[in-house]
Amino acid sequence: MQKFLIALILFLNITLIAHPTGNLIINNNKVYWSYVYPVGDPDHHACIMVWDEKDGARPWIISEYSGSDWMMSPSSEGGFYFVERYYDAQIQNHRSRIFYYESDTDIKEIMSWFVDEYHFGEGGFIPTENGNFIFAKYPYILYMNSDGTFNNWIDWHKPVSRIRYINDESFLIKGDSSIWIVDYNGKNLNEWSNLIEPLDSDPPFLGNRIFDADFNDGDLWIAYWGKRRLDLINGNAREVIKTFNEPFLPHAVGAKGDKVFILTSTISPYDNQQILPNLWKYENNFSELIWGEPTGINDVESENKMIPNRLRIYQNFPNPFNPSTTIKYFLPESSVVNITVFNSAGEKVASLINSFQSKGLNLVEWNGIDEHGNKVSSGIYFYRIESGGKALIKKMLLIK
């Protein structure tokens, strides 16, 4: 078994180079998640992406190191910790360092580069009151002291693959087929077992497993990799919230208040060229794709059934972009549509649509060319949709 795990780790490091290790958190009405930038980057420069209602999705921090990853954990002070890790070929091991984020102008490095033989944070980590960290390293829960030494936190009775901060009184432990909520002394406060269900078809790559979970206000949210689903467990009732079309697989989930966010991505051990990430928001029984592309006509049709009867324009993808980007919009009824691009000075740059359009989801592409056929410069641009006497506007970023 040990030889198999070593072989699998080596296999993942080599063949899944363009897929990220990391997680998703919600902090001050913003969503942060780990990915690579640009998407599909064969050198695997890790990125923390951020999304909010105002500005949509964009890179927040990009690592200068190839073969890198980011991992994050909320804190009781209102900010969050994040770990940068990369593979150092000279020492043939990983190096990591730890930061604390309070605001965009207050990011502190609290632990400088250290040799990271335990892959700190990959399975989740939790800050403690005394400045140390609890973290998961399959199949154990370990403790990292402020001097960089490690020891066992507690001898948990089953293998552990991930932990997650809930609040100052409890955190989540994810096992192979069970999830527990425990306090910081290891007392079991809640438990869900036998969460893995039989598959009706061959399992996806990496098997029939639960990849991530979050607990919020009595609800357990599950990113069920094997079934390609977002599940909700409340009490003893389990509900399938959304099923994702193949080849997409859910691998990070975060819940706060009445909003749930789930990151999905295509994943293949043999193909780094066709990687498509999607970030979904679930709120008030409605799921919305807020970052990424529709996966095909079936997804567009299913989204049409879920979208409320109002004009919508979505965040462009990719964003930032170079040289082109796609804008998706929804029309509650067939009508004349005008979509225009403006620069940051409010000057009109290009007219993308000025015609009668059919009801439902539609797409338009902008290739960074102005009305005179010239390539525009890097910078912030705005796109505006007008239809049925209503207008909406969003921001996008062109980087060359």
97-146 tens-digit pLDDT: 999 998 877 899 999 999 999 999 999 999 988 889 999 999 999 999 88
Map out the domains of the chain as residue ranges.
16-306, 312-398
Question: Which residues, at least 6 apart from 319, have a Cβ–Cβ distance to it below 8 Å?
Answer: 56, 57, 58, 291, 325, 396, 397
19 vs 169 pLDDT, higher one: 169
First-to-final CA distance of the chain: 48
254 vs 2 pLDDT, higher one: 254
Q: What is the DSSP letter of 194?
A: -
* Cα gap 168→184, rounded to integer Å: 8
> pLDDT of 281-317, one tens digit each?
998 888 888 888 654 333 433 443 334 457 888 888 8
Q: What is the DSSP letter of 2?
A: H
Instruction: Write out the CATH class of domain 16-306.
Output: mainly beta
- The amino acid at residue 120 is F
Q: What is the CATH number of domain 312-398?
A: 2.60.40.4070
Residue 50's alpha-carbon distances to 29, 260, 315, 345, in angstroms, are 10, 15, 13, 25
CA dihedral sign of residues 51, 56, 61, 64: positive
For residue 33, give the H/E element and its range.
strand 30-36
> pLDDT of 188-244, one tens digit each?
999 999 999 999 888 888 899 999 999 999 999 999 999 999 999 998 899 999 999
